[in-house]
Structure 1
Amino acid sequence: MSKMISLPNKDEPIKRSFGLLDIRAVDDGTYIEGHPAVYDQRTNIGGWYNEIIERGAFDSCNFDDVLFCTNHDLMKIPLARSRRNNSNSTMQLQLDETGLYIRANLDAENNSEARTLYSAVKRKDIDGMSFIFYIDAEKWEDLESDMPTRRIQKIKRVIEVSAVNFPAYTGTDINARDRTALDNARQALENARSQLDNSKDELELLKLKNLLLMKG
């Protein structure tokens, strides 16, 4: 039977990538649409552990201000933006059966970067999406194994979604693309295992105390 341990909330933002990106153009604008996050997909994180976003993880999520960028380049002007997901926003977000769905309206006529991205996606040169988020609740399984599983149960906030060059979150891609993300993944696993060890130590101490009380 697998062992499970609940962990406290995390304060650091996390990036995750998925290879699902659809695109279409309509008469009144240029739109990119797709799923930056999907439910129930087992993804290997840098060779350290598997991760699953559980269905319902976004139900209480804060989507008050979400940027749309390319390759998580937050230093550049966003190509679209959702503010409280209102009708005037240039990006709309929606939860569906697959996961988190977005539809971004790009100003391809006046913004050369938007035009370049639209062309790259249409040509399938870019075919993945990713998002940056904060975790509110999670569980770990099989922490004592070589490949544990992290289940993300609740996501607190999404701050950005991106069209990305490398949607597959393999060890090679993440190492080449984002060393910080790989280090964060390793640290998350080490923290989880440390808490598991502490729980074991507390249990052994409690057993010892009970044994001393019985002898006394």
Structure 2
Amino acid sequence: MQVQILIPGREDAFENYALAVKASGGIPVFWVSGAPLPPFSGLLLPGGGDIAPSLYGQENIACTDIDPERDTSELYALSQAVSMGKPVLGICRGEQLINAFFGGTLRQDLPGHSRTAERLDRLHPVRTAPSFLTELYGTEAIVNSAHHQAVETPGAGLRPVQWAPDGTVEALEHDTLPVWAVQWHPERMRGPFSKQGAVNGDLLFRAFLKNCK
């Protein structure tokens, strides 16, 4: 039986994530706030704009493209997934939302990690501690980068497991819950978006879906 992966939002806004889920054998299920939460096997929190800094106890000094309605709906979906013990995968903004949910804070502006002037993802090396990621990619790998914020103080129960050369946290793993998060974009490192020498994003999606069965 195929696993159903809940993605909060509209399908037309997250096409690459849906394609990645389908390619790994899952069924993407989209949900918008106000509708009943559908049955799901796991929750995928995708990338996007900044979350409201009030969610992690800070004033706004560098946040842009804030969408309070999206924050609210994704936090609700996350709270339901956690309460039911469902696996969760956060990607970029998704990692930041997970960190805030568990009481962590963010660096609001991080130079050198955003897309290039040509709107292309940057590539950089990462080192990885023993975790779900070492089973997939080993202790050293190349990932992409398209963000200007990142984890500052990890939330309760969250353990940093991957870092960029400048110390930026690139992945989190929860100590007791099936919650994974990466700062990079695996949906843009697979299939037609594969980048030579970099990680294969499909491996992460397959591992996540396997975790959801």
Normalised to the residue count of structure 2, the TM-score between the two structures is 0.26
- Structure number having the greater helix percentage: 2
TM-score by length of 1: 0.25
- The structure whose Rg is larger is 1
Structure having the larger proportion of residues in strand: 1
Larger RCO (CA within 8 A; separation ≥ 6): 1
